[in-house]
């Protein structure tokens, strides 16, 4: 339909761990797949300020909102300009080692500091704006955006934020005897994570970047000045309706429509 309407298209595929630079004349990126595919597409699109339209390749996700039966209508609306652009906040994630920047990343969903191969819990020191918040004994900790609030942070017991908010959520993973559980911080907060004990840990950013994190390293997290842009066909007011529908869909897949457990599908 796009080509028939005179729109130039090009198919591209991003290799894991490699960020492909988009041509200068690209105006829109269409990502077909799950939420992971949309996250990878945004890693290419954000530096160029290009919006992304997510088409669900499998089950409907939180980022890929267009189901395959809706594709023709979505394309028609694209061609007529009948859509809106939604801006989502992001995080700056700076990994320091020996006083130097070891990694500098942008996160649309979250940054996760988690235990590595060792079965032992991590001891993580958390500071906010240079003031000590807590020491967590946990399997890890998630720093999430509003977009990421429906991902790993939610699974770990964190709250759901409206997508337009730019707050940062800190959610421990399986915390042991911790007074401070999930907290919501202001967009201006400066967060610092450090290991208290020498342990095997890993840092993951949006599920795309995975690196080791050691005793003496620092993780500095702030809100980013840049934002991800999404093409949306539904009004903002539909967010909670869609949220409940998707959560119910996942619940039904796990427990069945009646709430009784069902056996997982086998290949």
Q: Measure the CA–CA gap between 175 and 65, rounded to whole angstroms.
A: 33
The DSSP bridge pattern shows strands 52-56 and 29-33 to be parallel
Identify which of 161, 166, 163, 141 has the alpha carbon closest to the alpha carbon of residue 152. 141
Q: Measure the CA–CA gap between 149 and 200, rounded to whole angstroms.
A: 26
Q: Measure the CA–CA gap between 226 and 206, rounded to whole angstroms.
A: 16
CA dist list (Å): 91 to 52, 61, 166, 235: 18, 21, 9, 25
82 is catalytic: no
Residue 165 CB burial class (10 angstroms; 0-12, 13-18, ≥19): middle
Is-contact 223 92, C-beta < 8 A? yes
Q: Which residue has the tokens 């004349």?
A: 25
Please pick, among 35, 110, 206, 217, the residue that the annotation labels catalytic: 35
Q: What are phi and psi of 163, to 5 degrees?
A: -60, -25
Q: Measure the CA–CA gap between 65 and 88, rounded to whole angstroms.
A: 15
Catalytic residues: 35
């Amino acid at each position: 339909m796009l080509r028939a309407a005179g729109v130039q298209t090009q198919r591209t595929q991003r290799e894991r761990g490699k960020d492909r630079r988009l041509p200068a004349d690209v105006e829109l990126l269409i990502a077909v797949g799950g939420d992971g595919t949309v996250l990878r597409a945004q890693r290419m699109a954000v530096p160029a300020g290009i919006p992304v339209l997510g088409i669900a390749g499998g089950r409907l996700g939180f980022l890929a909102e267009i189901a395959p039966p809706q594709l023709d209508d979505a394309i028609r609306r694209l061609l007529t300009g009948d859509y809106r652009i939604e801006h989502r906040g992001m995080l700056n994630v700076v990994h320091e080692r020996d006083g130097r920047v070891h990694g500098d990343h942008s996160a649309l969903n979250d940054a996760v500091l988690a235990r590595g191969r060792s079965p032992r819990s991590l001891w993580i020191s958390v500071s906010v704006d240079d003031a000590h918040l807590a020491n967590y004994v946990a399997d890890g900790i998630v720093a999430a955006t509003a977009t990421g609030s429906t991902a790993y942070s939610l699974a770990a017991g964190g709250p759901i934020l409206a997508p337009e908010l730019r707050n940062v959520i800190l959610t421990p993973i399986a915390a042991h005897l911790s007074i401070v559980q999930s907290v919501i911080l202001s967009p201006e907060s400066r967060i610092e994570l450090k290991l208290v004990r020498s342990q095997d840990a890993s840092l993951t950013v949006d599920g795309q970047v995975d690196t080791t994190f050691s005793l003496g390293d620092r993780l500095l997290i702030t809100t980013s000045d840049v934002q991800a842009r999404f093409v949306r066909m539904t009004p903002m007011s539909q967010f909670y309706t869609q949220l409940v529908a998707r959560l119910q869909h996942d619940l039904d897949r796990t427990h069945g429509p009646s709430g009784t457990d069902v056996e997982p599908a086998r290949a």
